[in-house]
C-alpha cells in the first residue's frame, strides 16, 4: 500500500512539472508580443537608449522553451506591462534561432532571460516565467536602479 502511494505521488509530481511543457509543445511557439513590434536590433536599441536616456528591456527567448512561451502568452501580453515598458524603456526581443550572435554577447545561461541594460551596463537580470504583476515589479525595480 505504501509503495502505491509513493508511486501515485511521484506520477502526480512528474505530471505537474511536465504539463506546461507539453501544452506549450502542442500550442507551438507564441507570437512575438506586440510590446516588441518595433523589431529593434540590439544595436538600434542601444542608439535609442542613448538618445532617449531610457534603459533597454532585453528579452532573450527560444521557440522550443516552454517557460518562454508561457511568458510571451502571459505577462508580456498584459496591457499594464506593455504600457509601462513602452513608456519607460526600449524593448528588444532576441530569439535564439534568429539572433544567436547578439545573444552570445550577453550573459545568458537560461531561457527566458530578461535583462535591463543602461549605458552599455547590465543593471540586472532575471530568468523564467512570471505573472504580470511579478514581471512588472522586477522590471520597475531594475529600471529604477539604472
23 belongs to a structural domain:
no
pLDDT in tens for each of the 146 residues of the chain?
667 677 776 666 666 666 655 655 566 899 999 999 999 999 999 999 999 999 999 999 999 999 999 999 999 999 999 999 999 999 999 999 899 999 999 999 999 999 999 988 999 999 999 999 999 999 999 999 87
49 belongs to a structural domain:
yes
70 belongs to a structural domain:
yes
Domain count, the chain: 1
Tell if the pTM clears 0.85, that is, is over it: no
Q: How many CB atoms lie within 10 A of CB 135?
A: 21
93 belongs to a structural domain:
yes
Task: Spell out a b/e string for 62-100, using b for 16 or more CB atoms within 10 Å of the CB, else e.
Answer: bbebbbbbbbbebbbbbeebbebbbeebbbbbbbbeebe
**Domain of 120: which CATH number?**
3.40.30.10
Domain that holds residue 44: 29-144
68 belongs to a structural domain:
yes
In angstroms, the first-to-last Cα distance of the chain is 58
13 belongs to a structural domain:
no
123 belongs to a structural domain:
yes
Amino acid at each position: 500500500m505504501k509503495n502505491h502511494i509513493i508511486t501515485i505521488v511521484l506520477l502526480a509530481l512528474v505530471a505537474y512539472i511536465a504539463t506546461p511543457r507539453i501544452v506549450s509543445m502542442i500550442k507551438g511557439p507564441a507570437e512575438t508580443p506586440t510590446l516588441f513590434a518595433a523589431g529593434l536590433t540590439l544595436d538600434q536599441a542601444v542608439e535609442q537608449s542613448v538618445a532617449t536616456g531610457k534603459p533597454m528591456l532585453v528579452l532573450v527567448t527560444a521557440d522550443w522553451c516552454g517557460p518562454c512561451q508561457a511568458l510571451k502568452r502571459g505577462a508580456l501580453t498584459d496591457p499594464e506591462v506593455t504600457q509601462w515598458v513602452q513608456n519607460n524603456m526600449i524593448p528588444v526581443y532576441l530569439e535564439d534561432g534568429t539572433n544567436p550572435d547578439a545573444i552570445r554577447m550577453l550573459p545568458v545561461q537560461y531561457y527566458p532571460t530578461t535583462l535591463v541594460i543602461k549605458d552599455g551596463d547590465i543593471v540586472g537580470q532575471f530568468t523564467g516565467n512570471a505573472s504580470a504583476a511579478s514581471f512588472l515589479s522586477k522590471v520597475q525595480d531594475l529600471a529604477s536602479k539604472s
